[in-house]
Every structure is written in C-alpha cells, then in structure tokens.
Amino acid sequence: MPAGPVVLNVAEKPSVAKEASRALSRNQATYSRGAGGTACWDFSHTVQGTTCQMVFTSVAGHLMSTDFKEPFNKWKSCAPLELFHKPIERYVPANKKVLEANLKAEARRAQWLILWLDCDREGEHICFEVMEVCCGVNRNLRVLRAQFSTLLVGELERALATLRPPNKSEADAVDARQEIDLRSGASFTRFLTLSLQQKFDWSSNLGPTSDKPVISYGPCQFPTLGFIVKRQWEIYAHVAERFWYIHVSHRDGTTGQMCDFEWDRKRLFDRFAAELFFEPCKEDGALATVESVGEKPTYKYPPYPLSTIEFAKKASSFLRIGSQDAMKVAEDLYQAGYISYPRTETDRFSPDFDLRALVGNQTAHPQWGGYASRLLDPGSGLWRDPGNGGHDDKAHPPIHPTKFTAGEPGWDVKKKKVYEFVVRHFLACCSDRAVGSESVIRIDVAGEKFTTRGTAVKARNWLDVYPYRSWSQASLPGLREGEQFKPEVSLKSGFTRPPEKLKETDLIAKMEQHGIGTDATMAQHIETTLKRGYATRDNQTMQFSPMPLGEALVFAYKEMGLDVLWQPLLRAETESQVSNIACGQVSKGIVIEDAIGKTQAQFLKALPQLLVLERSIGHFFKRVDGNPGPSEPPTDARDVLRTMCPLCAQRVVLARNSSTDGRLFRCSQHPHCNHKIALPRATVSVTVRPEKCPRCPREAGVSLVDLRFRRSGIPPGFSVMMQGQCLYCSPAIKELFEACQINNSNEAHNTGPVSRARGSGVSRRSGPSSMPPPPTTRAPPQPQHNNGPPKRRQAFQGSRYAGESTRGSTWQDSNASHTFVTATGQSFGLQNHSRQTLRPSSSGRSGGGSGVCYNCGEGGHFASNCPHPKKRRR
DNA sequence: GCAAGGTC
C-alpha cells in the first residue's frame, strides 16, 4: 500500500461499500474483515490531487437509536403526560456495537472521513451519527460528504471531486421527526395500555392480540388504521338505492352473437321517469337506427420501471403476497444478488443504464427466455425504451433483475413468484405498447341514445410477457350507418352498492397520497395494524377489515373529540414542518416545541375523558374489572329516540334490518327485546329532534323525528319530507305506515327484563359495527358505487311524476305494476291488481305519475300492461 | 411492553 493520508469511507450499507470500492478501484480493492467482522475494502485512489489509502466500510442504516433517558424508558417510571418533556438520549444499541467498534478502530488511524451515506434526509442524519462516533476518537479528522446518485464510476469520481460538508439542517429535520414521534407515540401508547389493558376481556378480538394487548398509538400506524375503519363505516352507512335503466341488445345475424348497448342516460332513480323513456322504445315497430359507426386506434402502455411502492402494490394485487412479506422476499433476493436494491423511489432508468445486457441475461429462461430474445432482435420491433415515471431518489435504480436463474431448488413459492414478477416487469418495461382498435356504434331508439364498444387487439407486445394484465377483446356486429334493426329492449333495475373494503393496494395508495410513512416503511405500518390486532387482511381478496379493537379505538378517539389523531392531516403537517427545518427556514427547536405542544394538547384533552374512553371501548368488549360499563350501544345522539322501550324500559335506537336493509328504531337490548318501529324502505334520512311530542302519553316523552323518503318508494300523495312527527302517535305516520303495510304492533315476545338481557351475554358491540353489509345486489352494466344522487334524479323530484293526489291509496313500492327483468334474468312484477287502488290525478293530466296509465289515461294499471290500443304520446 | 426511520 503506497504512503498517503488514510481516508475512511463510510456507506449506509455493505452493498454500497462493496460496489463503490469495486468501481473506484477498477476491481482492485481488497477485502478485509474489520473489527467484529465488518467488511472493509482497501485500495489506493487519488482524491483532490492527493494519493490516498482508501478504506471503505459501512454501517447498516441508522447507527443510533433514540429513547428516553433512564429511568424514563421504563413504563411506570413517570406519568405518560410527563413523556412530553422528559430527557431523550441518542445511543448506539447493542446490535450496532460491532459497527461502532469498527468505525472507531478505522477512524483512529484515518486522517479524512468521507461520508457516502444515501443522499436523502435520513442519510444526512446518519452522517452525523457516524461523525459523532468517529470524531469522538479522532478530533483531527477532516470530514467531507460525497454526493452521488448512482454507483457508476463516473458519478463516484464526480462525487469525490465535489466533496462538501454534511448538511446539518437535514439532519436536524430527522432529529425533530424522531423526537416528535417518540414523545407522542410513547405517551399515548403508555396511557392507552396502562388505562385499558387490565379492564377488559380482549378474547373476542381474534387474531395476534394476546390477553394483555399493547394498545399502541403512532402517527403513522393510526391513520393507517383510520383509513380501514373509515371505509368500513362508509360501508355500514350505505343505503342501497334502486335504479332503473333501459337495456338494449342485438343479435348479429351473421355470427349469432349478442351485443349489448348502454343507455346514454346510464340509470335513473325514478322508476316512473325510466318507464316514460322505456315505453316508446318497446313499442311494436320501434326500430333502432345506427347513427354512427366509428373506429380508432387504442393503446395499452407498459408499466413504468418498478419502485418500491409499486412493487408492494403489485405484489399484493398480482401475486396475493402481503406487502411486508413481499418486501422480506425481495430483501432475500437482493441479498442473494438476484435483484437490485428493493427500497427505491426511482421509477426511471438513467440513460447510461445497460438495459440490453440485463435483458440478454434472461434469454435462457424456459418461460420468458424466448420473449427476451425477441426483445433483443431489432427485426421484431418489440424494443421500446422504458418510460419515465417521474420519480428519482438519486440513490437507487428501479427494482430490476441482476442475476439470471431458471429457479433455485431451495426457493419457496413466494420467492419464485417475486423473482418472476421482477423479471417480467422489467422485460415489459423495455417493450413496445400494445396496440388495439376500438369500435363504437351509436344507435337511436325512439329518441333515446345507446352505445356499444368493442375492441380488437392488433399487437399484444408487452402483454405477452406480463400475464398479470389482460386486454379482453369484444367484436361488434357488422352494422352500417343508417341501418335499422329491431332491438331487444327491456327495462332493468339494480341497486347501488356500498364501496368495497380497502384492498392493500388501495391502502398503500392512500398512505402515499397523504404522506403516511415512506416507501420503505408503509408495509411495516400496515403490518403493525395487523400485529396489534387492529385489523385483518383477507389473504384471498387482500382486503382489510377492522378488528373490534381497531374499530373500538377509532370510535373512542372520535368520542373524545380526537379525530385529528386517526386522520392523516397531522402527519402531513409534521412532515411539512420538518421539511421547513431541512430547508433551513425554521429551527429544530421551534418545530419540536410547536408539534409537541399540539400533541400534548390532544393528550390533555384525552386525560379527563378516561370514562368516555372506557365507555367507548365497553361497547365492543366486556369489562373484567367489576365495572358493569355502559348498556347503551355506541349510537350518535341523533340516533337515539329519547323514549323508553315500552317492553323493557331501555333506550330505543336507530338501526338497520339485517335481512331487508331497511331502517328501524329498535330497543337497544335487541335481540333480547323485540320492540321495534320499522320505517318504510324508501327512508333516506332520519333526524331525531330535541323536542318531545306534546300529545304522546308516554311517560318519558317521545322525540319528534324528521323523515325523508325516496319519491319512487312511497305511495303517491305522501310527501317526501315528513317533519316533526311522532312515531308513536302521529296520524300522518300511521297513515303512511298503513299505506306501506308496515306492521309495528310490537306484539312480539319479549324474552325478559333488562337484568336478564345484561347478564346473558348480550354483545354490546352494536351500532355501526354490528350492522351487516347490505345484501348482494343485482349487477347493472355500469359501475355500482353510490356516488351520490345523480343530477338527473334531482331533476325529476317535484316534477309531475312525483304524484300528489292519491293520498290514502294503498299503492306500494313492492307492488310493481310492471314486469321488470333483472340483470340476472329474473323477472318480477305485480300479478295481483286487486291490491292496488289507483286513481286519476286531480289535475286530470294523462301520463302523470300518480297512478294513471300513460297510454290510455285510466287508473288501475300502467302503460306497460295497458289493455287498450297503443297511443303515441310526446 | 411504546414511535418511525434506516438496514440486516
């Protein structure tokens, strides 16, 4: 080794130390084992005109941890509130002592220290951790920071030529983040755990939770749970609404294939309106006229190069491997040299990346080798440079295969799947887009417009190597513009559906959108919600559901007015403030003081609400400390009918019927008490007023309610709004209930008094959490999510189709006068006309929606089954 | 027994 200053080079991980040494030394670096066996690479190199003895070694992520100083790191050393101000220390944990020893040994004999930590905020912080150790044993070290974005030799040489001091502001930003997270996490976690752990029977929380669960809070794990619970509550809150649409189909005379046309109006929530449009379409002689036949090229683009977040999402949705599991497998593959570093934000390849060599490595594979060969063949025209996803962490390339294997004997299924996916994704990235042709046929039937689309795939290209995506083809009938045919027309109906449970890919997307966690930690936060028994993941659908504990905690935070703790905004604010430190705009101390002050304020808000907390948890779990806990379910105040159940003297609460999905008020002791007041299925909203009924003789008085109904679901003549009504004595309510044939006589058997119900294992988990998902609904031809009432429906409210004149009739929603055909082919409708008493509207208008036939103007039937000759109306 | 962020 030639003489010269000794330069200690430190990277963030061993692989970087090795690769940088190999590149800078032109493969001349020699390996040696430093203190504790840590890898060191020695070579000679010229740095800023001086020939130096380079020693390249590494740490493994953060060298130091942060915790409360003794004795406050012990759980019962102080009140949780005091953790907002108790002293914090940074120290090298036991598992990093070996690395520390190596750094000390090398630093003692070095003159320079060059920091090759990853060029991000955390890397900058690790720089200062390394400096603290190295400068602690050698005060004369000259410390410099290398800034690099790849491990290519040119980039590394450039970094050596542009060495700079490390950035204290960025490191301070990490300091602040660490302190804020530690203080808020530890204080709330100790508070929750110490307050609740011994008081409840947690055995009903099936999952990894022990008898004595740690009930943690964290600024990332809790918003993650919040996303899951919020979606579940949206599902509970969904009220299925019925809609109608005209379905047109045509059988191709040549191929015999059926072709479906979609109505331009999509769907209507007013049956009468839908029927009005439908009638002319189904009349004898109604022909479809082809208005236009169009064709245009269409493309499917290959995915961008693979970043960690996309990898986690795709592993979950394509491979059915959970994100944390997938990351673990990817880490193993990386360690064994089969794929590149799996923690990367980058989704673009740098222009000097030798993509073709990597593709060439794969040509021998029995499954995708042929495709790789074709990709390299210029004659195939298959090659296309990868797209640019717009992200670059300046530290790592996108995830790609680095070593060929046709499969290793020891690999399990997950490892095989992940390696195959990384290779196929990489090959797809380097491939040309898929090309197709989309045909669109628009037709007119009696003034209504319908459209059908078909796709012909011309060149699959990247899809050939990417079985995780498909492109379905659909051919259209050979119709020409102006051509007419007799369509098959039917009026179908369906119900809006609640949103789906969150899939892992949706959850990761939400976390990404709100800045919850980093690409490398999102999977860990998800895993934490599972490990803590807050949520579960279905391994088939990869959908998340809250566990009782998770739902109980979010509910409790909501009850205590601490929504900010489970919603994502707080984290975004912290990140924003921390970024201001990194930019040098504000000092670390100010940000910490501000953030800690705000979190402490939340804590102080929670502290006096221990009873609220316990009562909230008590809705989901049985107490074991002798305290009977609350008996009422977790209902919103506005959902409680302020009266006593006439059978058992308990509260009467708003609920949902599990079989019909209709709403009802029922006794809070259900199913042990059967008192109930069912509401019409068309009930859209229920508001309990603070005022009591002035006439009702009931002892405790009865709250008045405001009810709103769907126009199409209640008999004509009844208003869609009924305000200030008493459900027990209002004549208008009685009349409506009779018209809807709702029997609320409450003669059902009462199984016993309250004390018996309490002592017989009544689950207190009710309210939103006990509501079953809505029943399976019929599939209409377009997306089913209930995105709120369409404008179209609004337009019909208050129109002449909203009948007003047959008050007192026995018209009923379920007595459809029309035969409907569902999407599943089932037909249903009114057979027994005698159950209807329909009268002409008072205005005498024909075609009104108040029980009058659109065709003949008479009552007693609708136009679709009118016995009279057809009349043309418009 | 607690957070989140690196990496093994």
Closest nucleotide relative to residue A16's CA, C1' based = B7
Residue A260 or residue A801, greater confidence? A260
pLDDT-above-90 percentage for chain A: 64
A224: nearest nucleotide, CA–C1' criterion:
B4
Asked if pLDDT for residue A819 goes beyond 60, the answer is no
Task: Please give the pLDDT value at position A871.
Answer: 45
Write down the pLDDT at residue A646: 57
Under DSSP, is residue A776 helix (H, G, I), strand (E, B) or coil? Answer: coil
The greatest distance separating any two alpha carbons of chain A, rounded to the nearest whole angstrom, comes to 111
- pLDDT tens-digit map of A487-543: 999 999 999 999 999 999 999 999 999 999 999 899 999 999 999 999 999 999 999
> Could you tell me the CA-to-CA distances from A685 to A354, A681, A710 in Å, in that order?
62, 11, 9
> What is the reported pLDDT for A26?
95
pLDDT at position A742 is: 78
| Average pLDDT rounded to a whole number, residues A762-788 | 29
Please give the pLDDT value at position A245.
Answer: 98
**Residue with CA nearest to B2's C1' atom:** A186
**What is d(CA A21, CA A34) in angstroms, rounded to the nearest whole number?**
15
Res A810 pLDDT > 50: no
What is the per-residue pLDDT for A772? 29
Q: Which of A217, A245, A341, A557 is flagged as catalytic?
A: A341
Residue A806, classified by CB atoms within 10 Å of its CB into exposed (0-12), middle (13-18) or buried (19+), is buried
The full set of domain ranges for chain A reads 6-166, 175-237+500-623, 308-432, 637-770
Cα A222 to its chain centre, rounded Å, is: 14
Residue for token digits 């009873």? A611
Shortest-distance nucleotide from A63 CA to C1'? B6
> Could you report the per-residue pLDDT of A592-636, keeping only the tens digit for each?
999 999 999 999 999 999 999 999 999 999 998 776 554 444 455
Q: Beta A6-11 vs A50-58: how paired, if at all?
A: parallel
Nearest residue to B8 via alpha carbon and C1': A60
**How confident is the model at residue A719, as a pLDDT?**
77
* Residue that wins the pLDDT comparison between A18 and A257: A18
pLDDT-based confidence at A708, cuts 50/70/90?
confident
User: Is domain A308-432 annotated with CATH 3.90.550.10?
Assistant: no
DSSP string across A331-361: HHHHHTTSB--S-----S--TT--HHHHHHT
Distance, in Å, from the CA atom of A827 to the CA atom of A530, rounded to the nearest integer, reads 45
pLDDT score of A567 more than 80? yes
User: Given this model, what pLDDT does residue A497 score?
Assistant: 94
A175-237+500-623 in CATH: which number? 1.10.460.10
Q: How long is the CA A524 to C1' B1 vector, in angstroms?
A: 18
CA of A15 to C1' of B8 (A): 11
- In terms of pLDDT, which residue wins out, A809 or A59? A59
The class of domain A6-166 in CATH terms is alpha beta
Question: Do A63 and A52 form a contact (C-beta atoms < 8 A)?
Answer: no
Average of per-residue pLDDT across A418-441: 97
Nucleotide nearest to A213 (CA to C1'): B1
Max avg pLDDT among A702-716, A770-784, A819-833 = A702-716
Quick one: which residue's CA is nearest to B4's C1'? Answer: A181
Q: What's residue A671's pLDDT?
A: 40
Contact call for residues A430 and A354 (beta carbons, < 8 A): no
Give, in Å, how far the C1' of B8 lies from the CA of A307. Answer: 21
Query: What's the pLDDT score for residue A494?
Result: 95
**How far apart are the C-alpha atoms of A62 and A96, rounded to whole Å?**
9
pLDDT at res. A631: 46
Whether residue A831 is predicted with pLDDT greater than 80 in this model: the reply is no
The pLDDT of residue A655 is above 80: no
Alpha carbon separation from A837 to A211, A448, A810 (Å, rounded): 62, 32, 6
**A11 CA, B4 C1': Å apart:** 22
Closest alpha carbon to A811 in A684, A716, A681, A744: A716
Residue nearest to nucleotide B6 (CA to C1'): A61
Average pLDDT, chain A: 81
Check whether A836 has a pLDDT greater than 50.
no
Q: Which of residues A787 and A250 earns the better pLDDT score?
A: A250
* Residue of A712 and A363 predicted with greater confidence: A363
For residue A744, the number of C-alpha atoms closer than 13 Å in the C-beta half-sphere is 23
Least confident segment among A6-15, A806-815, A839-848: A806-815
Question: Could you report the per-residue pLDDT of A204-233, keeping only the tens digit for each?
Answer: 887 776 778 999 999 999 999 999 999 999
pLDDT at A776: 27
Distance A789 CA to B4 C1' (A): 42
Q: Say whether pLDDT at A842 is over 90.
A: no
Q: Which nucleotides of B are covered by protein (CB under 7 A)?
A: 1-8
Task: Give distance CA A129 / C1' B4 (Å).
Answer: 17
**pLDDT tens digits for range A473-483:** 998 888 999 99
Quote the pLDDT of residue A773: 29
Share of chain A above pLDDT 70, in %: 79
Q: With a cut of 80, say whether residue A71 has pLDDT above it.
A: yes
CA distances from A548 to A229, A593, A649, A708, A763 (A): 10, 35, 28, 32, 12
pLDDT of A752: 28
pLDDT tens-digit profile of A85-139? 999 999 999 999 999 999 999 999 999 999 999 988 999 999 999 999 999 999 9
Tell me: pLDDT of A341 over 50.
yes
- Which nucleotide is closest to A342, CA to C1'? B7
What's the rounded mean pLDDT across residues A443-467? 97
The pLDDT of residue A721: 76
**pLDDT for the residue numbered A310:** 97
Lowest mean pLDDT among A4-13, A373-382, A566-575, A704-713: A704-713
In terms of pLDDT, which residue wins out, A681 or A459? Answer: A459
The CB density around residue A774, as the number of other CB atoms within 10 Å, is 18
Could you tell me which of A606, A258, A637 has the C-alpha nearest to residue A452?
Answer: A258
Among A233-242, A666-675, A685-694, the least confident range: A666-675
Q: What is the spatial distance, in angstroms and rounded to an integer, between the CA atom of A330 and the C1' atom of B2?
A: 29
The per-residue pLDDT for range A672-691, each reduced to its tens digit, is 335 578 888 878 778 777 67
For A755, counting Cβ atoms within 10 Å of its Cβ (0-12 exposed, 13-18 middle, 19+ buried), the class is exposed
Q: CA A466 – C1' B8 distance (Å)?
A: 32
- The closest nt to A178, taking CA to C1', is B4
Nearest nucleotide by C1' from A180 CA?
B3
How far, CA to CA in Å, does A312 sit from each of A343, A399, A571? 10, 11, 22
Phi, psi of A276 (to 5 degrees): -60, -40
My answer on whether omega of the bond before A71 falls inside 30° of 0, hence cis, is: yes
| Nearest protein residue by Cα to C1' of nucleotide B1 | A214
Confidence at A870, pLDDT banded by 50, 70, 90: low
pLDDT over 90 at A792, yes or no:
no
Amino acid (one-letter) located at A650: Q
Angstrom distance, A2 CA to B3 C1':
48
Which ranges of A336-481 does DSSP label H, i.e. alpha helix? 355-360, 369-376, 413-429
Q: Is A341 a catalytic residue?
A: yes
Are A325 and A333 contacting, i.e. CB atoms less than 8 angstroms apart? no
Q: For residue A808, is pLDDT > 80? A: no
**What pLDDT shows up at residue A284?**
86
What pLDDT, on the 0 to 100 scale, is given for residue A35? Answer: 85
Question: Each residue of A365-399: pLDDT tens digit?
Answer: 999 999 999 999 999 999 999 999 999 887 789 99
Does pLDDT of A725 surpass 70?
A: yes
pLDDT given at position A667? 53
pLDDT in the model for residue A632: 46
